[in-house]
Structure 1
Amino acid sequence: MTDNNRQWKTLDKDLGRIGHLEYAAHYIARPMVGLGIALAFLVLAGLGAGLLFGAGQSNMIVVAAAIVGAYMALNIGANDVANNMGPAVGANALTLGGAIVIAAICESAGALLAGGDVVSTISKGIIDPASVQNENVFIWAMMAALISSALWVNLATWVGAPVSTTHSVVGGVMGAGIAAAGLTAVNWPSMGKIAASWVISPVLGGVIAAAFLAFIKARIIYVDDKIAAARRWVPVLIGIMAGAFTSYLAVKGLKKIVSVELDLALLIGLGAAVVFWAISVPLIRRQSEGMENRNKSLKALFAIPLVISAALLSFAHGANDVANAVGPLAAIVHAGEFGGFAGEVNIPMWVMVIGAFGISFGLMLFGPKLIRMVGGQITKLNPMRAYCVALSAAITVIVASWLGLPVSSTHIAVGGVFGVGFFREWHAEKRARESRSRRHPGKRIAPEERRRRKLVRRSHFLTIVAAWIITVPAAALLSGVIFVVLNALFV
């Protein structure tokens, strides 16, 4: 090899090393960009709050609360919104980028256009305002609740567990209330209902999602003429979706515009179901023309309804859950502005703006991790299975409202994913057992082979369930400690 060739080879190696170094630097810097944008948003939230209040101690408290509230909103976007968009992404009905854009728009629209203008600052009666007579103690209790719930949701996102942000706030308020006024300050019957919802929400969501998947398998997938069956039943499922979401939005998402009772909401939903069924019949017939008699064709028929249902879920989530999450911030603003506290207060528009934009930034910067986990790492989803999850979420909320039960949208959606996965597991095992009994009567499957055929990842299942169980007590304990520290420093 000549000296000239050796020099060129050495130069190529050096350039390769430089290229690897640049790639590594770019890979390391990517998370820092997200953190930088998030930090800038927190600073802007604090500056905006400071401009709305005069000088004094109340101003500094509200500024600090606005920063913490913005931090909470970022965490809601990173964790909670994944439950609405994850199934659609996992089913390949939406790209990750498309899901983030749709969710950001719909969540913000739900929060700003239809978000409740009155919120129970004590998280639906968890503690009695009369038990906390001192205004400063009340403010620091709400601050502790806000900080603890935000930290807990942040930790859950980092671990990869979708948790209920509303339950985190409830736990934070309960812990601060106990630290401030003792166990008697807590409304234990309300806490009992919330504890019951830990079980009711995911189980009900899972059962309804599994029931719809069983119906689709029996009436559409496992029939000779799949396309003809789809033409008959897909419009019916679209009508059910339209009716469920119309009732859902009427009950949960339109409180600022008009107050609708559940009976009237169900009647409106029934009307919407009939209208959308009639509209979708010719559309599905036209879309299915020329399709092959295969499951792949069926997936295409469910893709657009799935995207629409995911967008509606995000709108309803923004309308309903953002107000709960910024409730403690609204309480602090009310106390700082009027020098007192109340069980219910109006949410200022700038507080809702912090919630709406914080959710959007949190989703775009930190949401992809949980979207991928919910959509593809618990169980394998396709448009039909994901559609069952979205449909179960809306119907479960309606059923829970009718029964008067507090439920978590997070638990319902993830419970629906579990329900679909466990039903697939049971159904596959049943078909394999029937096939085996025909071909090899008396033959048994080895335990190793049985474990290999599991269609729900048990590690994710156990992690998520454990996070659900400890959310309220963990947030309560953390909030109590933070309140004691804040009370010692500032009261």
Structure 2
Amino acid sequence: MNQYHKPTLDKDLDKLSYMGEATGSLGKRLVAPGIGLLFVLVCGLVATLFFFDSPGTYIVAVAAVIGAYMALNIGANDVANNVGPAVGSRAMSMLTALLIAAVAESAGALLAGGDVVGTISKGIIDPAAVANPAVFMAAMMAALISSALWINLATWIGAPVSTTHAIVGGVMGAGIAAAGFAAVSWGTMGQIAASWVISPLMGGVIAAFFLYLIKVLVVYRDDKIAAARRWVPVFIAVMTGAFATYLALKGVKKLVEIDMPMALLIGLGSAIASLLITRPYVARQSRGLENKNQSLRKLFKVPLVVSAALLSFAHGANDVANAVGPLAAIVHTAGFGDVASKVEIPLWVMAVGAFGISFGLLLFGPKLINMVGQQITKLNPMRAFCVALSAALTVIVASALGLPVSSTHIAVGAVFGVGFFREWYTANSLRRFNYVMAKNGRGPKPTRPQRNREEMFRRKLVRRAHFSTIVAAWVITVPASALLSAGLYLLLVPLMG
């Protein structure tokens, strides 16, 4: 048989096989961008149908395409913060997380998304400075393009950034290019800059505090299951109350306006009801469980999945305006020929934002979900539970204090807070040290644990490279979006005249 062996033919066949595999792999990589491109083109077509025979048809169509592109990028980047910890802790699979978040995001945007948005993005720019319709549409278009491009770049490098900050930077840059530095409300910008520090710190401190409570009250107890029966319902009740308050303040603004005292009462009632319901549930779930940490994680999985869905709903209700706010402003100006301080969002424009965020999550979300859930620090259901609880509580505290905060910064800050707290607690906790010594049969030690420098470095539980990348991306989001927007405005304004 060997006499029929043709080495040249085998090489050619191998080359064809490799080319086939490479082509198949490339084809798979192009599926998601292809679907995304189809989506933005359909959005442009829909806009054309709604503005057929109108003088501003082409402007609205282009704006719809850009708004859809922005929504895709928000879904790819921002939504990871809601479901990343749950996926990283293995409370649910990537596919389950994508489906739950996509449905919850769309529901939040369409059912509770704000139907009126401020076109000057929370008072960043003086409306009188951009009163000319052509100038205004060019500024909004530049802001939309610049923020979308920046979020796309951040997603590519693996950095979760604030889409709110990106759009604010875009509006500021276009406003400066259109009317100079005097047009900017620098007091408002100062508050936004302060949120760069406030949001992650608050999120990290609150998450670390609850992780400390879980460790002290449940994890490092001789009878973990008995401690879990007592305290896990309390933690779930706190989370339920926090999310009820959060949704009352931020998630249902379109349906009903609720002030802080009423929201807190709703949260308190929800917490009490949750405590009454979850006590027997946790007691039933804990029967037969072994007295070890792995058993405790099972008790946190269901509330963690629910929290991911609620975070996604609230995110859809609040952040859809980042994608469609400037688009709604352009649609209004093109249709009515005037610049309004506030405009209503048409249903088709809201649908562009809602479905765009969901498509972006499904097509491009796994990269950032893995980053937030797995690559910053190791999460389990208890740690991820603390992250989700921190996200809700931080928004409530910030709202009560009147502080502007970023949900992205809060969630990622909470992940960092959990990781850095674990580093400190592992190295310094006498309670943990004595527990581990007793478990290994060595008896408790009355002194604090001693570690050499090499061991402490080896046991770092937060990846410093990701920390540096993410913080750097946060700091430059506003200035980068602003500079890009200013340049785009100077290119666009002649075309709008």
- Is the structural similarity TM-score above 0.5? yes
Report what 1:365 is aligned to: 363
Report what 1:445 is aligned to: 452
Report what 1:337 is aligned to: 335
What percent of counterpart residues are identical? 65
CA gap 1:308/1:440 in 2 versus in 1, 3 angstroms: closer
Contact 1:421 1:455 in 2 (8 A): yes
RMSD of aligned residue pairs (Cα, Å): 2.0
CA deviation after TM superposition for structure 1 residue 442, in Å: 11
Report what 2:133 is aligned to: 135
CA gap 1:277/1:14 in 2 versus in 1, 3 angstroms: farther
Report what 1:474 is aligned to: 480
Question: Aligned match of 2:401 in 400, 403, 408?
Answer: 403
Structure 2 gaps, min length 5 = 438-443
CA gap 1:442/1:474 in 2 versus in 1, 3 angstroms: closer
Matched, 1:180 2:178: yes
Normalised by the length of structure 1, the TM-score is 0.96
Question: Aligned match of 2:461 in 414, 438, 455?
Answer: 455
SS of the equivalent of 2:117 reads: strand
CA deviation after TM superposition for structure 1 residue 17, in Å: 5.2
Contact 1:166 1:325 in 2 (8 A): no
Matched, 1:42 2:40: yes
Name whichever of 333-342 and 385-394 sits farther off.
333-342
Report what 1:268 is aligned to: 266
Name whichever of 22-31 and 467-476 sits farther off.
22-31
CA distance in 1, matches of 2:295, 2:11: 50
Normalised by the length of structure 2, the TM-score is 0.94
SS of the equivalent of 1:267 reads: helix
Contact 1:244 1:391 in 2 (8 A): yes
SS of the equivalent of 1:326 reads: helix
Report what 1:429 is aligned to: 427
Report what 2:440 is aligned to: none
CA distance in 1, matches of 2:149, 2:98: 23
Matched, 1:68 2:66: yes
Report what 1:418 is aligned to: 416
Contact 2:429 2:449 in 1 (8 A): no
Contact 2:433 2:449 in 1 (8 A): no
CA distance in 2, matches of 1:298, 1:19: 50
1:317-338 Cα offsets, whole Å, 9 max, x none, are: 0001112332111110110111
SS of the equivalent of 2:343 reads: strand
CA deviation after TM superposition for structure 1 residue 161, in Å: 0.3
Task: Give the count of matched residue pairs.
Answer: 488
Name whichever of 150-159 and 49-58 sits farther off.
49-58
Contact 1:149 1:172 in 2 (8 A): yes
SS of the equivalent of 2:114 reads: coil
Question: Aligned match of 2:307 in 309, 313, 317?
Answer: 309
Report what 1:246 is aligned to: 244
Letter in 1 for 2:460: K
CA distance in 2, matches of 1:323, 1:442: 51
Contact 2:107 2:313 in 1 (8 A): yes
Name whichever of 434-443 and 229-238 sits farther off.
434-443
Report what 1:160 is aligned to: 158
Report what 1:193 is aligned to: 191
Contact 2:427 2:449 in 1 (8 A): no
CA deviation after TM superposition for structure 1 residue 133, in Å: 2.5
CA gap 1:299/1:16 in 2 versus in 1, 3 angstroms: farther
Report what 2:441 is aligned to: none
Contact 1:119 1:324 in 2 (8 A): no
CA deviation after TM superposition for structure 1 residue 234, in Å: 0.7
SS of the equivalent of 1:119 reads: strand
Contact 2:398 2:404 in 1 (8 A): yes
Moved over 3 A (4+): 9-21, 431-444
Report what 1:231 is aligned to: 229
CA distance in 2, matches of 1:325, 1:444: 50
CA distance in 1, matches of 2:233, 2:161: 33
Report what 1:148 is aligned to: 146
Report what 1:3 is aligned to: 3
Letter in 1 for 2:337: G
Question: Aligned match of 1:208 in 163, 185, 206?
Answer: 206
CA distance in 1, matches of 2:374, 2:40: 32
CA distance in 2, matches of 1:122, 1:354: 20
Letter in 1 for 2:367: K
SS of the equivalent of 2:222 reads: coil
CA distance in 1, matches of 2:55, 2:36: 26
CA deviation after TM superposition for structure 1 residue 20, in Å: 3.7
Letter in 1 for 2:385: Y
CA deviation after TM superposition for structure 1 residue 390, in Å: 0.3
Name whichever of 9-18 and 80-89 sits farther off.
9-18
SS of the equivalent of 2:56 reads: helix
CA gap 1:132/1:441 in 2 versus in 1, 3 angstroms: closer
CA distance in 2, matches of 1:442, 1:316: 43
